[in-house]
Amino acid sequence: MIISPQVCYGTYKGQAIHYRAKHALMELFISQTRRPFVLGLIITFVTAFCVIGTLLFSYRYLNSPISAIQSGVIFEVEAGSSFSRVTGELAQKGYLDYPQLFVGLAQLRDVANSIKSGEYELYTGITPRQLLEKMVIGDNVQYRITFIEGWTLNQVLEELKNSEKLTLDLSNANSSEIATALGLEQQSPEGMLFPDTYFYTKGTTDLEILKRASSRLDEVLSKAWNSRLGALPYENAYESLIMASIIEKESALGSERSTIASVFVRRLELGMRLQSDPTVIYGMGEDFQGDLRRADLEAENPYNTYDIDGLPPTPIALAGLQSVTASLNPAPSNYLYFVAKGDGSHYFSSTLEEHNDAVARYQKSAEAQ
């Protein structure tokens, strides 16, 4: 069979057209397939850029100083406040420009329900992250109150009354009620607190402070009692505390206290009266006008150790550590008397004759001045 050239040419031409059409379809398919891929790549890039930008912005904001806060600013989180309420109050005061980032940080750390109520002192340079941390750990404003060695219960109560941000639950309580509230075995809380500085936050009650001071005394007295020096004329630790309070009021010099303790311990052992002026003064209360008279030393008074045998019924003041230690570790001595020298120290004597001479000498010296 003979095939004409025209037929052959037509066949070849048809094949070429078919090839070009097929190639065009392939290019169309590839372009259509590539377009979503490129679009997806662009979307992914933009999304990543936005996420990274947001993270960088959030990090910078949360770790940058809050410009609206100056040192000394007090912000209070009231009891029962939700985190959203606290955040709203911070934003309202102008402390948070982007409160949603503050909330996001709290949620990320899972601490939104962990903030503590109370007062917070803010300072220049504090960042939102530091502010959140402060509220989570409860770093509240601390106030202080100091009970001085030698103070009476009335002085302690007056100090509590005048202290800022303290809730007064005992303002109308009498001595016996305070003793009951403290869980004391004794009916009087006089001297049953340890003189020290105590820190507290707003809303703390006066009873809480007294309980801490009472507990601290228990620790100090128990330790001293368990390490006492040999046999002493006390039936229990409370009696040693009574002695410690007398020592506290007799001398302001720590170096003398163990010697003063030795005088009183020897007197108790020998059955002599203590004859301590501070006990008489305490028993007189408001009747004491600055000078002890002979009539005062002869008056009936449960704290008049010129008239009663042994120790007075209660401590007469707050006893510090040195006095508590001295009462249970008196210095070895033969002294039975002492008299003030006028310079804060005392002259100690073993005999009445020597004591009388010292009294005359130092009284004459005081009168000359």
Kindly state the tokens that stand for 35.
């377009």
The pTM score is 0.80
Nearest CA to 182 among 155, 210, 206, 157?
A: 210
Query: Confidence class of residue 1 from pLDDT cuts 50, 70 and 90?
Result: very low
**Greatest Cα pair distance in the chain:** 167
Query: Is pLDDT at 368 greater than 60 in this prediction?
Result: no
Query: Is pLDDT at 96 greater than 70 in this prediction?
Result: yes
Q: What is the DSSP letter of 300?
A: -
Query: Confidence class of residue 256 from pLDDT cuts 50, 70 and 90?
Result: very high
Domains and CATH numbers, the chain: 73-137 (3.30.1490.480), 143-221 (no CATH), 229-368 (no CATH)
pLDDT in tens, 146-193: 999 999 999 999 999 999 999 999 989 999 999 999 999 999 999 999
Query: Is pLDDT at 306 greater than 60 in this prediction?
Result: yes
Quick one: angle between helices 99-109 and 83-92, nearest 10?
Answer: 150
pLDDT in tens, 208-255: 999 999 999 999 999 999 999 888 999 999 999 999 999 999 998 999
Q: What's the chain's average pLDDT?
A: 89
Separation between Cα atoms, residue 287 and residue 301, nearest integer Å: 12
Nearest CA to 145 among 183, 215, 188, 195?
A: 195
What is the percent of the chain with per-residue pLDDT over 90, rounded to a whole number? Answer: 76
Separation between Cα atoms, residue 60 and residue 65, nearest integer Å: 10
Nearest CA to 194 among 217, 215, 161?
A: 217
pLDDT in tens, 116-126: 999 999 999 99
pLDDT value at position 57? Answer: 77
pLDDT in tens, 312-340: 999 999 999 999 999 999 999 999 999 99
Contact present, 171 and 154 (Cβ < 8 Å): no
Contact present, 128 and 90 (Cβ < 8 Å): no
* Residue with the two structure tokens 């397939």: 33
